[in-house]
């Protein structure tokens, strides 16, 4: 049988299964199943759970590792027989798949009693063929990723390019940009693959791609909350993600503004460690406002009312900043006093001293607003 015939990895696995008369799985270097074929798929519990979960389960992976098979696959090009009756696995024959000498995966055949010389020969010949097909599929996937990245980049730039891309994608009506961030920056792009798969089934006209440390998506604004909430429910690492939704717009040309808002919302969520949620600007407006003001407040803090309180406390140790902070949080003298475990008169005296000695009048609404904003930056909640 000609294993070099056209088709994807599943076609190749089917040809090999027919040639060997044995169930086949093709796995990548991380034991993720990327193709399988062959009758009698229920040959044993290990195969069933591996195919259903698309990865070798931990109990079997640990048993295989303990037998030294993974170490041998890393260095050997021979067919290895795996016999692990203690975990009730039917005997496997496995061979490494290498591309230009680099270990990229493995082929597993479930063969009770072990492989015959003819089966060993067939597996050995299959290795380079699988490697070539893997390379072709990786190249194809890379081209697809680059194409999606170009589309998303055009969307995020706004203007005429975004309008042209929207027409090409069949996207119309209100659109929004979604920004997905992760605390671990190097882990962010990993969500792009699962999200692409999810969108292809739920919102096929949408598009997403990783750009830098953010994964962006553009889709129908009316479906954002439903689609992304459903994705987070399904995604195994959802508690690591923060999803910011940009302002909806009727014009693709204005998606650059939607992207700016999505970035600000996602950044506000990440800074406050609010992960596993989808939020729009309306839900985190105050947080985004504080973040946007932060550069100004930090640059000009020496001129602020807070600076005068901080300097007075530095010299006299009077606790004016704590009193102001507690009062602004509580809105009442008695509640602020309870929070600081002092008498209410102590709070009154400190606020009076702030007014008389620092020219910081807590009765002035604008002064209170300036202090609240500055304190939120200086003492993040």
Average pLDDT of the residues of the chain: 89
Query: What's the confidence (pLDDT) of residue 349?
Result: 96
Residue 140, number of CB atoms within 10 A of its CB: 11
Question: How far does Cα 313 stand from its chain's mean position?
Answer: 44
Answer whether residue 370 shows pLDDT above 90: yes
Of the pLDDT bands very low, low, confident and very high (cuts 50, 70, 90), residue 213 is confident
Answer whether residue 189 shows pLDDT above 60: no
Strand, helix or coil at 42?
A: coil
Answer whether residue 283 shows pLDDT above 70: yes
Higher pLDDT, 51 or 70: 70
How far apart CA 108 and CA 59 sit, in angstroms, is 17
How far apart CA 47 and CA 54 sit, in angstroms, is 10
The residue assigned the tokens 């129908």 is: 220
Query: What's the confidence (pLDDT) of residue 150?
Result: 93
Over residues 38-49, the mean pLDDT reads: 74
Which residues make Cβ contacts (< 8 Å) with residue 101, sequence separation at least 6? none
Q: What percent of the chain has pLDDT over 90?
A: 64
Sequence spans of domains, the chain:
9-137, 158-284, 300-378
Residue (of 329, 346, 324) closest to 337 by Cα position: 346
Could you confirm whether domain 9-137 is CATH 3.30.450.40? Answer: yes
Q: What pLDDT digit, counting tens, does each position of 107-122 carry?
A: 999 999 899 999 999 9
**Pairing between strand 214-220 and 92-99?**
unpaired
Question: How far does Cα 215 stand from its chain's mean position?
Answer: 8
What CATH number belongs to 158-284? 3.30.70.270
Higher pLDDT, 6 or 127: 127
Answer whether residue 337 shows pLDDT above 90: yes
How far apart CA 348 and CA 328 sit, in angstroms, is 13
Phi, psi of 97 (to 5 degrees): -110, 125
Q: What percent of the chain has pLDDT over 70?
A: 95
- CATH class, 300-378 region: mainly alpha
Query: What's the confidence (pLDDT) of residue 192?
Result: 84
Q: Do 94 and 15 contact (CB within 8 A), yes or no?
A: no
């Amino acid at each position: 049988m000609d294993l070099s015939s056209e088709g994807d990895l599943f076609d190749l696995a089917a040809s090999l299964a027919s040639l060997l008369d044995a169930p086949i799985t093709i796995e990548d270097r991380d034991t993720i199943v990327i193709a399988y074929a062959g009758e009698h798929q229920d040959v044993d519990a290990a195969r069933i759970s591996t195919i259903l979960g698309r990865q070798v389960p931990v109990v079997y992976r640990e048993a295989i590792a303990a037998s030294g098979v993974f170490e041998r696959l890393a260095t050997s090009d021979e067919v290895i027989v795996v016999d692990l009756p203690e975990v009730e696995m039917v005997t496997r024959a496995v061979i490494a798949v290498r591309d230009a000498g680099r270990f990229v995966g493995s082929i597993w055949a479930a063969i009770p009693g072990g492989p015959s010389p003819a089966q060993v020969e067939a597996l050995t010949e299959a290795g380079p063929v699988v490697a070539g097909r893997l390379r072709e599929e990786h190249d194809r996937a890379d081209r697809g990723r680059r194409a999606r990245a170009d589309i998303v980049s055009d969307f995020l730039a706004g203007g005429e390019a975004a309008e042209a891309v929207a027409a090409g994608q069949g996207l119309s009506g209100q659109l929004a940009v979604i920004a997905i961030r992760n605390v671990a920056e190097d882990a962010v792009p990993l969500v792009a693959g699962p999200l692409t798969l999810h969108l292809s089934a739920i919102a096929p006209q949408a598009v997403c791609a990783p750009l830098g440390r953010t994964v962006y998506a553009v889709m129908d604004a009316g479906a954002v909350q439903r689609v992304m909430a459903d994705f987070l429910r399904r995604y195994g690492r959802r508690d690591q993600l923060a999803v910011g939704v940009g302002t909806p717009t009727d014009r693709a040309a204005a998606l650059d503004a939607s992207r700016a808002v999505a970035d600000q919302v996602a950044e506000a969520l990440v800074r406050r460690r609010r992960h596993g949620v989808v939020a729009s600007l309306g839900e985190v407006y105050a947080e985004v406002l504080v973040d946007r003001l932060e550069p100004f407040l930090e640059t000009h803090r020496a001129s602020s009312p807070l600076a005068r309180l901080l300097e007075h406390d530095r010299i006299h140790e009077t606790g004016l900043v704590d009193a102001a902070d507690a009062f602004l949080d509580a809105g009442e003298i008695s509640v602020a006093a309870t929070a600081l475990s002092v008498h209410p008169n102590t709070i009154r005296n400190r606020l009076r001293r702030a007014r008389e000695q620092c020219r910081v009048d807590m009765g002035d609404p604008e002064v209170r607003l300036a202090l609240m904003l500055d304190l939120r930056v200086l003492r993040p909640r």
